[in-house]
Structure 1
């Protein structure tokens, strides 16, 4: 336990450094955007004097290091600036949009884990037989198809051909849970299928490796029920897929941006598109930074879970 706490504290202590690096990268990249904030804020009819006054008032003429330090100071106080039009705090817009993106990601993750476990376990149990061949073909197709294309296919099949789900829009779960589930099912499936396909292949490979070990043959020779043997094998086989889970969650967070645009969901993806289309650098900067920090937090949590399930690396 002492070794686990030491490694956990080391992971957590690195987070502020990584956040500073992420903030620097996002800030520098967006500062070289060709968009003129003064032009977007004041409009085409603004005079050069008005634009110069706007740039001076907002520190746009300051050197890049000075602007970065000011940006970090505002960030430490939870201030990500204001949107161009209408003028609203970026944090308020993110506070409204991020919960939807989080809902979509978590629902997609839950579906991906369930599908991956079912397909991966059945494929390993029926190794080299027809269920294994079918599941492997399905997983290959799921990996090959991008999530946005899957979303388009799902809309075509289950919203237009068979109108079982809406083509888009969002229903707050507080207003109607069934309506929320209907509005989120297809977007969550679009995110889940590629991740489930990849994880299922990892689970199958790990389980096949474990099934061939001596302790499984001993357990079978001792007459243990197959269910208990598979449960033990699965517990040991999940260590490797768990290491990939953090990256997959990050993939789903970033993929949710595109899926939200396809299904017209008012999440972080819509904010980014709004900021890009409107030339609102502050809005884009705030949303991208929030998603990047969320990705970092998820990876640290997964690292800690990996430390819990794999005691061998606690001695590192």
Structure 2
């Protein structure tokens, strides 16, 4: 337990350094954006004198390091700037949009994990027989399908041809939980299937390797119940898929941005699209930074789960 706490504290202690690196990368990249903050804030009818005054008042003429440290000072206070007129705090816009993106990501992740376990374990138990062959073909097809194209197909089939679900839009769960599930079903499925297909192959490979180990043959020869053997095998087999789960969650966070645009969901994807099309540097900067930090937090959590599942690494 002491070794686990030491490693966990080491992972958590690295987070501020990584956040600083992410903030620096996002800030520097967006400084080369062709968008003119003064032009976006004042409009095309503003005089050159007004634009120059705006740039001076907001520190746009300061050297890059000065602007970066000013950005960090605002970031520590939770100030991500304001959007172009009509001016709104970027933090408020993100606070409204990010919960929806998080809901979509968690729903997609939960569905992906369930499908991966069902398909992966079934394939391993029926190795080289017809269920295994079917699931392997389906998983390869799922990996090859881009989530955005899959989303369009799902809308075509289950919202237009067979009107079981809405084509888009969002229903707040506080207003109608059933309506919320309907509005999130197709987006979460489009997000989950490619990830589930990839994870299912990892689960199958790990399960097959574990089923061939000596301790499994010994347990079977000793007459232990198959359910107990499968639980032990599954616990050991999940170590490898868990190592890539953090990367998959990051993929789902970025994929959710595209899926939200397809299904007209007012999440982070809508904010990024609004910021890019409107030349709103502060909005793009805030949303990208939030998604990057969320990805970092998820990877730290997955690292801690990996330490819990695999005790051997605690001695490293």
After TM superposition, the score normalised by the length of structure 2 is 0.99
User: Match of 1:91?
Assistant: 91
User: Match of 2:188?
Assistant: 188
In structure 2, how many angstroms separate the alpha carbons of the residues matched to 1:25 and 1:31? 10
User: Match of 2:103?
Assistant: 103
In structure 2, how many angstroms separate the alpha carbons of the residues matched to 1:282 and 1:6? 38
- SS of aligned partner of 1:82: coil
User: Match of 2:139?
Assistant: 139
User: Match of 1:39?
Assistant: 39
Please tell me whether residue 223 in structure 1 is matched to residue 207 in structure 2: no
User: Match of 1:123?
Assistant: 123
User: Match of 2:299?
Assistant: 299
- Displacement of 1:225 after TM fit? 2.0
Please tell me whether residue 253 in structure 1 is matched to residue 253 in structure 2: yes
In structure 2, how many angstroms separate the alpha carbons of the residues matched to 1:83 and 1:43? 13
User: Match of 1:28?
Assistant: 28
User: Match of 1:54?
Assistant: 54
In structure 2, how many angstroms separate the alpha carbons of the residues matched to 1:29 and 1:69? 15
In structure 2, how many angstroms separate the alpha carbons of the residues matched to 1:57 and 1:44? 19
User: Match of 2:148?
Assistant: 148
- Displacement of 1:294 after TM fit? 0.3
In structure 2, how many angstroms separate the alpha carbons of the residues matched to 1:58 and 1:79? 14
Q: Deviations over 1:36-63 (max 9, x none)?
A: 1111111111110011011111111111
- SS of aligned partner of 2:115: helix
- SS of aligned partner of 1:45: coil
In structure 2, how many angstroms separate the alpha carbons of the residues matched to 1:166 and 1:186? 9
**Which stretches of structure 1, 4 residues or more, deviate above 3 A after TM superposition?**
none
In structure 2, how many angstroms separate the alpha carbons of the residues matched to 1:263 and 1:139? 24
In structure 1, how many angstroms separate the alpha carbons of the residues matched to 2:258 and 2:58? 32
In structure 1, how many angstroms separate the alpha carbons of the residues matched to 2:261 and 2:202? 30
- Displacement of 1:229 after TM fit? 1.3
In structure 1, how many angstroms separate the alpha carbons of the residues matched to 2:13 and 2:285? 25
In structure 2, how many angstroms separate the alpha carbons of the residues matched to 1:293 and 1:86? 27
User: Match of 1:179?
Assistant: 179
- Displacement of 1:85 after TM fit? 2.1
Segments of structure 1 that go 5 or more residues without pairing to the other structure are none
Segments of structure 2 that go 5 or more residues without pairing to the other structure are none
Query: Greater shift after overlay, 219-228 or 247-256?
Result: 219-228
User: Match of 1:241?
Assistant: 241
In structure 1, how many angstroms separate the alpha carbons of the residues matched to 2:91 and 2:37? 19
Q: Deviations over 1:129-188 (max 9, x none)?
A: 000000000000110111101101100110011000000000000000000000000000
- SS of aligned partner of 1:24: helix
User: Match of 1:284?
Assistant: 284
Q: Deviations over 1:84-139 (max 9, x none)?
A: 12101000000000000000000000000000000000000000000000000000
In structure 2, how many angstroms separate the alpha carbons of the residues matched to 1:45 and 1:296? 42
In structure 2, how many angstroms separate the alpha carbons of the residues matched to 1:89 and 1:206? 48
- Displacement of 1:28 after TM fit? 0.2
In structure 2, how many angstroms separate the alpha carbons of the residues matched to 1:219 and 1:8? 34
